[in-house]
């Protein structure tokens, strides 16, 4: 009886641990988001809601928002003095503005909006455009100043006059640990002014896994772009799928495994402070890992 009681207690403990991890993973559902008008004095309407907040990670990660820009709607031009963010769209097109310069960007693409840079986004199409916003600050405090400019009909540059990020599978390279994982640093530490350190794009082939790793000085926010699989954090494993957002805090051990379909992830890395970010950026492999991969994969 004692053995049965002990086994039951261990099972309950494991179930509770899994429930704890599951409670930290959020899932995007547009029907559960709010419909808002004139966001930052922007045109039209949009729906969005938080997948992560300033309470999600211990670093100065402030939020991860997900939603849709409705036809001829968007976010008006504004800027932040103490935080920076990035608008992202998925497999579609929208007009991005940074510091008064506007370009039409297509595909899974984003534009980082660094501290003090004005920014906006507008959906010129006749259909909804899937959208994401990520915000990281010098502290947990969010600030904004609206410029009263919806950017409708703004002149457009054929070539963007600002930093852009593209999430194309054709750009992925074999990960350092090899196997069934491909990875690419889409944005490096030097892009950002805050402790925001990188945005990575990762693809795990069916049945593949990343192996277990942990970073004492770096938190990460994962978003599942496509596919399904599982995540293990500090020994707790939960199934994940497209639309899930998974937080991994400082020094937490994590691993990801693909199921029957490829598991595609976007990864946002935020250091615990600027000293840790600067140490991370000082390593050439972290600032721009692709040339290092080319050297590692060069035939000898």
Q: What is the pLDDT of residues 22-49, one digit of tens each?
A: 999 999 999 999 999 999 999 999 999 9
196 shares its domain with 158: no
pLDDT bracket for residue 176 (50, 70, 90): confident
Percent of the chain with pLDDT over 70: 89
Task: Look at 5 and 87; give whichever has higher pLDDT.
Answer: 87
Residue 120's CATH number: 2.60.120.10
Residues 6-32 have a mean pLDDT of 69
Q: Does 151 fall in a domain?
A: yes
Say if residue 221 is in the same domain as residue 205: yes
Last residue of a domain, one of 100, 131, 166: 166
Mean pLDDT of 225-254: 97
Query: Does the pLDDT of residue 153 top 80, yes or no?
Result: yes
Instruction: Answer yes or no: are the C-beta atoms of 75 and 45 closer than 8 Å.
Output: no
Domain membership of residue 151 as a residue range = 27-166
Q: Are residues 151 and 42 in the same domain?
A: yes
Same domain, 53 and 147: yes
Same domain, 132 and 176: no
Residue 281 pLDDT exceeds 60: yes
Distance CA 178, CA 204 (A): 11
Q: Who has greater pLDDT, 110 or 13?
A: 110
Q: Decide if pLDDT at 294 tops 60.
A: no
Question: In terms of domains, do 179 and 152 share one?
Answer: no
- Average pLDDT over every residue of 132-147: 97
- The domain total for the chain is 2
User: CA 280 to CA 258: how far, in whole Å?
Assistant: 28
pLDDT digits (tens, 9 = 90+) for 236-249: 999 999 999 999 99
Counting residues of the chain whose pLDDT is more than 90, the rounded percentage is 86
Task: Please determine, for residue 87, whether its predicted confidence score (pLDDT) is greater than 80.
Answer: yes
How high is the pLDDT of residue 25? 97
Nearest to 120 by CA among 92, 143, 98: 98
Instruction: Based on the fold, state whether residues 182 and 218 are members of the same structural domain.
Output: yes
Residues 94 and 180 in one domain: no
Residue 150 predicted with pLDDT over 70: yes
| Six-digit token string for 237 | 């494993």
User: What pTM does this model have?
Assistant: 0.89
Bridge partners for 37 per DSSP? 45
Question: Is residue 10 one of the residues assigned to a domain?
Answer: no
CA pair distance 252, 219, nearest whole angstrom? 8
Is 9 among the domain residues?
A: no
What pLDDT score was predicted for residue 290?
53
What does 9-69 look like in DSSP terms, one character per residue?
HHHHHHHHHHHHHHHH-EE--GGGSEEEESGGG-SSEEEEEEEE-TTTSSSSEEEEEEEEE
Residue 40 lies inside a defined structural domain of this protein: yes
Domain boundary, last residue among 118, 140, 166: 166
Q: How confident is the model at residue 1 (pLDDT cuts 50, 70, 90)?
A: low
Within a domain: 278: yes
Which of these three, 144, 166, 188, is where a domain ends? 166
Asked whether residue 150 falls in the same domain as residue 191, the answer is no
């Amino acid at each position: 009886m004692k053995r049965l009681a002990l086994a039951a207690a261990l099972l309950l403990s494991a179930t509770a641990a899994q429930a704890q991890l599951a409670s930290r993973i959020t899932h995007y559902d547009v029907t559960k988001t709010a419909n808002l008008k004139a966001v930052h004095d922007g045109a039209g309407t949009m729906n969005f809601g938080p997948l992560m907040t300033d309470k999600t990670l211990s670093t100065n990660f402030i939020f991860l928002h997900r939603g849709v820009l409705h036809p001829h709607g968007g976010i008006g031009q504004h800027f932040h003095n103490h935080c920076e963010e990035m608008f992202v769209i998925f497999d579609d097109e929208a007009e991005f503005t940074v510091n008064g310069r506007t370009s039409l960007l297509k595909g899974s693409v984003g534009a980082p909006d660094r501290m003090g840079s004005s920014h906006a986004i507008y959906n010129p199409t006749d259909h909804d455009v899937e959208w994401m916003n990520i915000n990281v600050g010098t502290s947990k405090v969010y600030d904004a100043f609206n410029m009263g400019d919806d950017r409708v009909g703004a002149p457009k540059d054929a070539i963007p006059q600002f930093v852009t990020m593209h999430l194309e599978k054709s750009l992925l390279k074999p990960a350092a640990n090899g196997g069934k994982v491909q990875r690419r640093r889409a944005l490096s530490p030097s892009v950002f002014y805050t402790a925001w350190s990188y945005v990575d794009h990762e693809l795990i082939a069916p049945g593949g896994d990343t192996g277990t790793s942990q970073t004492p000085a770096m938190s990460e926010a994962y978003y599942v772009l496509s596919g399904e699989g599982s995540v293990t954090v500090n020994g707790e494993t939960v199934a994940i799928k497209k639309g899930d957002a998974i937080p991994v805090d400082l020094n937490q051990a994590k691993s990801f495994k693909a199921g029957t379909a490829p598991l595609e992830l976007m990864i946002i890395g935020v250091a615990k402070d600027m000293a840790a970010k600067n140490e991370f950026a000082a390593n050439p492999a972290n600032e721009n890992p692709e040339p290092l991969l080319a050297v590692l994969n060069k035939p000898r």
